[in-house]
Amino acid sequence: MSAPSNLTGDFQPPPGLLGNLASVMAGGAVGTLLRVSGHALRPQAPGTFPWTTLAENLLGAFLLGWLAAWLLARTVGTSSPEDINAHRLRLFLTTGVLGSFTTFSALAVEGIELVALAPGTGFAYLGTSLALGPLLAVAGLRVGGRTP
Amino acid sequence: MTELLVLALAGGLGAAGRYLLSRTVVVNLLGALGAGCMAGWVNALPASIPAPAWASIVTLGFLGAFTTYSTWSLEGVEDFRQGNPLQAVVKLAGTLTAGVALAGMGWWLTALIA
């Protein structure tokens, strides 16, 4: 007969989807405001290289890699189960803030606009986004994975 | 101020939609198509009509947050680290190519209708 897992201290998946959704939504609101603030500070003229979107996307990719490795180093190999608040803080920061701070839809639209108007600039933008995002995510993983 | 709050709410809803679907490739392609449609529609408006506020709420708020570049990058890296470099390249380059094509298709379709 198996003991009820809530008495053994085994990891419990967060039972409340609504609480998880609220964490993601709150993070999404923060990430969106940060992304829009960046564009307010450094507006992009249509048809020019989208430096602001690129900078935000690359920063977000680095920070997500960093955070993923940092969180992994602190939850794997420890005996304490991740509690619901830690899970929701993680959702808030990763899926919420960083997921929404970065954007793929703007990248796609800016990409097709630029490819149509100035193909060289357009392909440079898409190529840079394709190559540097994963590279910065790796850099983030390396930095975040260093044990203090 | 009110517009910023609505923008934040739209971003929250976009992030929630992404969390519920939890398929990065799918949300990114859907979002790219949607943003292409929005851009084509706004572009097709007569110069005398300014783009309505809800257009940027949908594009910057909802679709901007619904789609994600950071998770797309990290998921590609994860495929590499798990020994699937081909899958990583296909996922990264394939999603970006398809996303740009879908954005162009959305643009072209709404420009045709508008």
pLDDT digits (tens, 9 = 90+) for B96-111: 999 999 999 999 999 8
Nearest CB to B7: which of A25, A32, A112?
A32
Tokens found for residue B25: 């490739």
pLDDT value at residue B113? 85
* CB-CB neighbors (< 8 A) of A100 in chain B: 11, 14-15, 64-65, 68
Per-residue confidence at A4, pLDDT binned at 50, 70, 90? Answer: very low
pLDDT value at residue A134? 97
Q: Is A10 exposed, middle or buried (0-12, 13-18, 19+ CB in 10 A)?
A: exposed
pLDDT in tens, A120-135: 999 999 999 999 999 9
**Looking at the predicted complex, does its ipTM rise above 0.90?**
yes
Across all residues in chain A, what is the average pLDDT? 88
A62, A89, A61: which is closest to A75 by C-alpha?
A: A89
Q: Are the beta carbons of A113 and A35 closer than 8 angstroms?
A: no
pLDDT at residue B91 above 90?
yes
pLDDT in tens, B54-90: 999 999 999 999 999 999 999 999 999 999 999 999 9
Q: Is A88 exposed, middle or buried (0-12, 13-18, 19+ CB in 10 A)?
A: buried
A47, A48, A50: which is closest to A105 by C-alpha?
A: A50
**Cα–Cα distance, B94 to B96 (Å, whole number):** 5
Tokens found for residue A95: 């899926």
Q: How many CB pairs under 8 A join A and B?
A: 188
Q: Is B2 exposed, middle or buried (0-12, 13-18, 19+ CB in 10 A)?
A: exposed
**Cα–Cα distance, A46 to B35 (Å, whole number):** 15
pLDDT value at residue B56? 95
Altogether, the residues listed in chain B come to a count of 114
Nearest CB to A105: which of B20, B31, B88?
B31
Question: Residue B8: how many CA atoms within 13 Å on its side-chain side?
Answer: 13
Judge: B12–A26 Cβ closer than 8 Å, yes or no.
yes
* CB-CB neighbors (< 8 A) of B36 in chain A: 108-109, 112
**Nearest residue on chain A to B74, alpha-carbon basis:** A137
Q: How far is A104 from chain B (nearest CA, A)?
A: 5
